[in-house]
Each structure stands twice: as C-alpha cells, then as structure tokens.
Amino acid sequence: MVRQSSITLASECSVAERAAMTQALEQAGFTGAHLELGTAAGGTLKELMGIYPDAATRPPFHVIDPMTYFPDQLTKVRTNLTNAGIDPDSVRFHIGTSADFLPVARAEGLQFDFVFIDGDHRHRPVLADLALADFVTPGGLIALHDNGPKFPGVGWAIDRFLVRNPGYERVTQAETLTLLRKTPAAGPVRILSTDLAEASVTQVLSRWRQSYRKRLARRA
C-alpha cells in the first residue's frame, strides 16, 4: 500500500495535534536538542523545525528511523526539508530503531529537551521506545502520536510506563497526541523484562481481537 504521506510529503499529525506541540514548545522555550522517532516523509519534522525560524539559533534536531517505510524515504525526507527552506544536513539522521540508537546516545552523552515518538505503534515497540525518556532533560517533554482505539498499543505502553515511572506526568491530550513531562523527581527509567514480555503477549491478543472484530463486521 502506498503511504499518502510519501506522495503529499505532509505531516501525519492533525492540525490540532501539531498546534498542541507548537504551543507546548513555544511556551517551553527549549534550547536543547530535539529528537523525532519515526519521521515518515518528514512532514512533522519540518513543522517542528519551523517553530524555530532562525536556523542559527534552532535547537539541534535528531531523527531515528529505519527508512524502510516506503521507497526512497530518506531522499523524500531531505527533499521535503529542502522545499521548506531547511537544510537537511542540519538534521542528524540515525538509520535504525531506538534499540540501535540507545548505545549511541549513552556513548555520546546525548540529552534532549523534546522527544516525539511516532514509530511502530504496537505494544512492545512503544514501551521499548519509551526507554528514550532516560535521555530527556528534567522539565523536558515526550510526545506520543496515535494514542487512540486504532492503535491500542500506544495507550497501553503509556499507562504501563507511568506506573513504573511516577516521575513523569501527563500534561496534554490533543486528539491522539499525548504529551508527558519529565519532572525533577524522575529517576532512571524502569521498564522491566516482565513488562516487555507482557507487552508482547498483549500485542498478539490485541491483533487477534481486531482481526475477529473485522471478520464479524464483514459477516454483518
């Protein structure tokens, strides 16, 4: 299936969701690095970078993505940024997953004021991606996209993460966008192996339920 964003190069976030992130970032006045996990065609990336119109003072931007979402994905992301007047070479692209990125972040001592998670929306991957919270500065924000009935894994992972990590708080819900804040009380991220195992099982059961409901709908 051809992804619409690969044709239009537009953001896969709604107007309301982009507005919520824009408002939060403008109010925060962050100067530290920003990270996007899952960029599609770079539509949301260019919007986030556009919040800081002065390229000389724009925070550093990083992107994590396997670049296999559609053919020539990285080329289209770079073209999208160029068309918006943004130098694609100003973005540091990490080709891979959050698991690939974590050792790099640790080795380089990377920290981020803002992290946007919009990758694989299944239960286990989202929970694993939330390990990136370890690299968020106190007071920093984590945004997660597609927290809604279509992708139950996102909400499940957020709930489990917050139970294990009480130093994080929900600050905004705009349509399917959830914003979390890392408080000064937050310690090292706790995501247990049992949590990941449960996420894997719940993920399979959720897929079965969705498939069963679709079969029933076709028979109705």
Q: Which domains are delineated in the chain?
A: 4-219 (3.40.50.150)
Return d(Cα 101, Cα 4) in angstroms, integer.
27
Range name among 45-59, 85-99, 156-170, 201-215 with the lowest pLDDT average: 201-215
Report if pTM > 0.75: yes
Least confident of 100-109, 181-190, 210-219: 210-219
> For the chain, what is the mean pLDDT?
95
Residue 96 falls in which region: left (phi positive, over 0), alpha (psi -120 to 50) or beta: left
